[in-house]
Amino acid sequence: PRITFVSPDGTRRAVDAPDGETLMRIAVHHGVEEILGECGGACCCATCHVYLDEASMTRLLPADDMELQVLEFTAAPRRAGSRLACQVLADRRCEGLIVQLPATQI
Ligand code: FES
């Protein structure tokens, strides 16, 4: 799917992501510096925090309990669209997804 990462300053980076890869790994692979992913995708560091829009949220599989717990510890404010990028898998539901990056992860 085509996924666009948007930095806090408005810089947009559109990438073609392989199915089955996490948004965190896709971002790191493409040099998106706002995503740290310190725990390597184990859902325990909250440094892969992103904001998705509400329409996209309804298309994706919802966050599970563990993700919701770790979302309590994001450095930037948690919002309705907050997700952990390591817990969102790229697939056809992500086509055209806009991923807003927070100003800080630590
Ligand atoms: Fe650590 Fe996502 S990479 S919670």
Q: Which residue has the tokens 């992501």?
A: 17
Residue 54's pLDDT is 87
pTM: 0.97
- What pLDDT, in 10s, does the model give residues 59-75? 999 999 999 999 999 99
Q: What is the pLDDT along the chain (106 residues), one digit of tens a residue?
A: 999 999 999 999 999 999 999 999 999 999 999 999 999 999 999 999 999 998 899 999 999 999 999 999 999 999 999 999 999 999 999 999 999 999 999 9
* Ligand 1 within 6 A of CB of 37: yes
Mark out the alpha helices in the chain (DSSP H runs).
23-29, 54-59, 65-70
Q: Which atom of ligand 1 is nearest to the CA of 39?
A: 1
- Quote the ipTM score: 0.99
Instruction: Return the amino acid letter for 77.
Output: P
What is the domain partition of the chain in residue ranges? 2-100
* Ligand 1 within 6 A of CB of 22: no
* Ligand 1 within 6 A of CB of 39: yes
Residue 20's pLDDT is 97
How many Å apart are CA 97 and CA 52, to the nearest integer?
A: 8
* All residues at 6 or more sequence positions from 88 whose CB lies less than 8 Å from its CB, including other chains: 22, 23, 52, 60, 94
CATH topology of domain 2-100: Ubiquitin-like (UB roll) (3.10.20)
Closest residue by Cα to residue 103 from 33, 54, 17, 20: 33
Q: Tokens for 63? A: 């966050």
How many Å apart are CA 39 and CA 17, to the nearest integer?
A: 21
